[in-house]
Amino acid sequence: EVQLVQSGGGLAQAGGSLRLACAVSGFTTGRYNIGWFRQAPGKDRREGVSCLRNADGSTYYSDSVKGRFAISTEGAPNTANNMVYLEMYGLKAEDSGVYYCATPSYCRDDGPGAGPFGSWGQGTQVTVSS
């Protein structure tokens, strides 16, 4: 069973930085994708902000975070169970929300592709004070 366990996040001031982590387990192959999503307060929809194709390390970002966020892995590309990080710099108040990692079936140029999503992390709160 694939499991995603998140850590990190918390409170930061505008302009500051935070790091999120997503520990991946249960894969027998390195060919999967990890996407980061966020859900702003009062919003029903989750916004995809970044995606990593673990098989080759390719990374993708939405326009809202491009140049400020960086997705990476602790292990080499194609590692079966990797640790995936989302480094967030130059934080803005509108970056606040609950962040989730998930396993989208594909990445696209502006982040995670549409569903189906195999697994989700438990979510972690990011709050940016202005």
39-77 residue pLDDT tens: 999 999 999 999 999 999 999 999 999 999 999 999 999
Question: What is the pLDDT, as a whole number, of residue 114?
Answer: 81
* Strand partners for 48: 37
Percent of the chain at pLDDT above 90? 95
Task: Report which DSSP code applies to 26.
Answer: S
